[in-house]
Amino acid sequence: MTPKPTLAILGGTGKEGKGLAWRWAKAGYSVIIGSRKAEKAQAAAADVRARLGDEKAPVHGLLNPGAAAQADLVVVTVPYAAHRPTLESVKEAVQGKIVVDVTVPLVPPKVIKAQMPPAGSAAQEAQEILGPGVAVVDAFQNISHELLWEDGAIDCDVLVTGKGKKNRQVVIQLVEDAGLRAWDAGPIENSAVVEGLTSVLIYLNKTYGSTHAGIRVTGVASAD
């Protein structure tokens, strides 16, 4: 049986990052929560261990560069304003690895309006910053952080786009282990559509009084 990779979640002190950390730790992954401040990372890791009810669970907190260096696979869950500096700070540490980019290029206060960066999407921007030695894969943009911290399955699909079909399959397994249904949505250029949907979902939440609008793919038989 192939051992599970160690995961680093950069920006893991936020609600989305902690929700993913909890779900993956519950599924048997070792998780390192990264932050710009070591004490915040350690506090978030303690929160996740408490949520698991296991103070000895393999969930730890480190500064972002150290977390990225020690992990087999890196997940970026920072706000868009911190996207470039975070990636630049770990560029050397992530060479040869898959980087799962959860970032959406939201520009407050106009978060209900899709505003894509010159590269086309946050994922394409990440690929440019990190270079060809890294495989950037986009996922989890359309999931409410409130649902990730709850127990049980989530009635929402995850579209996975990015560099290389094999890399996308690795991330699809991560999505499924987090308790969601995943779809291979194609190359990294398609990430612009996926990221742009977040602004649509925020608009739907505001318009219809919800907090966790999501998407479902219909009319296609899933791989399982």
Average pLDDT of each block of 10 consecutive residues along the chain (224 residues)? 90 92 96 97 96 94 98 97 97 98 93 95 98 98 87 88 97 96 97 96 94 91 65
Closest by Cα among 14, 34, 23, 99 to 57: 23
- Domain of residue 56: give its range: 7-208
Burial of 207 (0-12, 13-18, 19+ CB in 10 A): exposed
- Does residue 134 lie in a domain region? yes
CATH assignment at residue 110: 3.40.50.720
Q: Are 98 and 76 in contact (CB under 8 A)?
A: no
Closest by Cα among 159, 139, 151 to 217: 159
Distance CA 211, CA 215 (A): 13
What pLDDT is recorded for position 93? 98
- Does residue 218 lie in a domain region? no
- Does residue 128 lie in a domain region? yes
- Does residue 166 lie in a domain region? yes
- Does residue 125 lie in a domain region? yes
- Does residue 144 lie in a domain region? yes
Angle among Cα 102, 107, 108 to the nearest 5 degrees reads 115
- The dihedral built from the CA positions of residue 136, 138, 144 and 146, taken in this order, carries a sign that is negative
- Does residue 219 lie in a domain region? no
| Number of structural domains found in the chain | 1
pLDDT digits (tens, 9 = 90+) for 133-169: 999 999 999 998 888 888 877 889 999 999 999 999 9
What pLDDT is recorded for position 127? 98
- Does residue 127 lie in a domain region? yes
pTM over 0.85: yes
